[in-house]
Amino acid sequence: MGIKPLLTAPIVNTNLAPYLMKQMNLIEDSKRKEVLLQFGIPRVFLDAIDNIKTIDSKLTSCINYPKGAYYYLPKIANYSIYKGYNVVPICDSGQGDSFYLLLYNNTEQKIIYNEIEQDEIYANFGLNINAVITTILIEFYALMDDEEVEDRNKVLKKIADLGYELCVERKYSIKTMERIFQAEDNDEDRYNNSRKWFDKNILPLLK
């Protein structure tokens, strides 16, 4: 279900002059969904972001409508990771101080994850929306309490149902979570160094 890159970027600005190419061009909120749809981001996923509380209130700790992105991005427009790109917020993550963004220009298109405090791309998903949504589901899983995660079959069903709501096939979600369980069982870094564990065990699953 991965998304194939477009041969050409959608035309939002008809004149990408050198001045613009040296800076970030933030696509306004009113055009956000239109542009994301042109890049193949599923409408189901975008609609889910608009109504995330109705799907599961705990998901709001993982993703939200990109109000934070539209507030903070103009303040950090000088970050080098944005320069030369049109920037389209997909959704906020966490408390609105980190984001999933679509970056594109005439030669490149990619979905990234980054935080306001660092001029750094934390994750580059290409145009693989399955990887983005699976990352969100993993974050949701990390928020589940001990009693919830004791019953792994129940966890698999819950994650699969949420994945379906966000436009990922249940089979894909279950397979990914099973591999995560296996990685958890075999690697103490899951608890001692969660970032190291994520980079080692989860990022390869998302490629």
Give the tens place of pLDDT for each residue, 115-174.
Answer: 999 999 988 889 988 888 888 887 887 777 766 667 767 777 777 788 778 877 666 666
Q: Considering the chain, what percentage of its residues have pLDDT values greater than 70?
A: 68
Tell me whether residue 3 is in a domain. Answer: no
Asked if the model's pLDDT at residue 1 lies above 50, the reply is: no
Task: Count structural domains, the chain.
Answer: 2
Same domain, 62 and 162: no
Token pair of 131 as six digits? 């990887």
Same domain, 71 and 137: no
pTM of the predicted protein model? 0.76
Instruction: Tell me whether residue 179 is exposed, middle or buried, using C-beta atoms within 10 angstroms of its C-beta: 0 to 12, 13 to 18, 19 or more.
Output: middle
Beta bridge partners of 88: 102
Residue that finishes a domain, picked among 83, 110, 127: 127
Token pair of 181 as six digits? 């369980």
Same domain, 78 and 140: no
Query: Comparing 207 with 99, which gets the higher pLDDT?
Result: 99
Same domain, 110 and 37: yes
Q: Are 92 and 59 in contact (CB under 8 A)?
A: no
Structural domain span for residue 146: 131-206
Same domain, 32 and 109: yes
Same domain, 147 and 189: yes
Residue that finishes a domain, picked among 110, 127, 144: 127
Asked if the model's pLDDT at residue 175 lies above 80, the reply is: no
Tell me whether residue 7 is in a domain. Answer: no
Same domain, 51 and 136: no
**CA 65 – CA 44 distance, rounded (Å):** 14
Lowest mean pLDDT among 13-17, 90-94, 124-128, 198-202: 13-17
Same domain, 111 and 184: no
Tell me whether residue 179 is in a domain. Answer: yes
| 107 — pLDDT class (breaks 50, 70, 90) | very high
Asked if the model's pLDDT at residue 12 lies above 50, the reply is: no
The three-state secondary structure class of 63 is: strand
Same domain, 92 and 184: no
